Amino acid sequence: MEEIKFFDCNCSFGRRSVVDPGSFYKAEDLKKRMEHYGIAKALVYHSLAREYSPMEGNKILMEEIQDFPGFYPMWVVMPHHTGEFYNPEELKEQLKKYNVRAVRMFPSVYDQYYSTENWNCGKLFSMLESCRIPLFLGFNQVGLHDIVRILTDYPNLPVILTELVYSIDRNLYGLLGSFGNLKIELSGYKVHNGVEEICAGFGAERIVFGSMMPVFSGGSAVSVINYACISQKEKQMIAHENIEKLLEGVVFT
């Protein structure tokens, strides 16, 4: 049986304001955990980009991952209107310069607190869509109305929904059936036979593997794939092929 290759699309490192017991914060510790769980590559962002400043956190990220060839940068982005962050065209040039092929946002009132309505983020979303840059967005960051609006207004923008909850299916199935640009990240999706049902109903291409280390355990995320009652091909798609395809599809026009 072919070994499953894991590409984690939801990892971070760096000091945080609230540290969970048993957690870690150093890049080298993340690398050790990945090796222990058999995860070869990871999309990573820096905690300071979420809790302090995207500009500063993204800069530190690029400096600290240089010694870790298996780490791929994921920048935290936000609206530019206050001058705290690049405008969309400047951002595109920076993403191209540093070969950053995925971004995430933290617009919640508990994080960076801004609206994702088009009057605030429309130009940013349009730029990401034009380049096909995957946007990772937590279900705990925005409401269903916002998710539907973004998916509707930007149909060519790949959106990966993270931080799912066990009761999500009654809305998730409708979303997956209505929006082909939506995928889900696995770490928060703790639904009995959920992976099997989504693969059967919508296809394995709608799921990407993530652990949410260091907050969650990488071992549980790997186990969900290893023990899922799906084909070996579907396991490979979820574990690494789907995210690799998304990253390869980025076009800096």
Judge residue 69's burial from the number of C-beta atoms within 10 Å of its C-beta, 0-12 exposed, 13-18 middle, 19 or more buried: exposed
* The pLDDT value given to residue 117: 97
- Spell out the domains of the chain, with CATH numbers in brackets: 6-248 (3.20.20.140)
pLDDT tens for the chain, 253 residues long, are 678 999 999 999 998 887 777 788 999 999 999 999 999 999 999 999 999 999 999 999 999 999 999 999 999 999 999 999 999 999 999 999 999 999 999 999 999 999 999 999 999 999 999 999 999 999 999 999 999 999 999 999 999 999 998 889 999 999 999 999 999 999 999 899 999 999 999 999 999 999 999 999 999 999 999 999 999 999 999 999 999 999 999 999 7
Asked if residues 24 and 59 have their Cβ atoms less than 8 Å apart, the reply is no
Helices (H), the chain: 27-37, 47-51, 54-64, 88-97, 118-131, 144-153, 169-178, 194-202, 218-226, 232-236, 242-248
CA dist list (Å): 135 to 18, 183, 222: 25, 10, 23
* The pLDDT value given to residue 112: 97
* The pLDDT value given to residue 190: 87
* The pLDDT value given to residue 1: 65
H-helix or E-strand containing 241? none
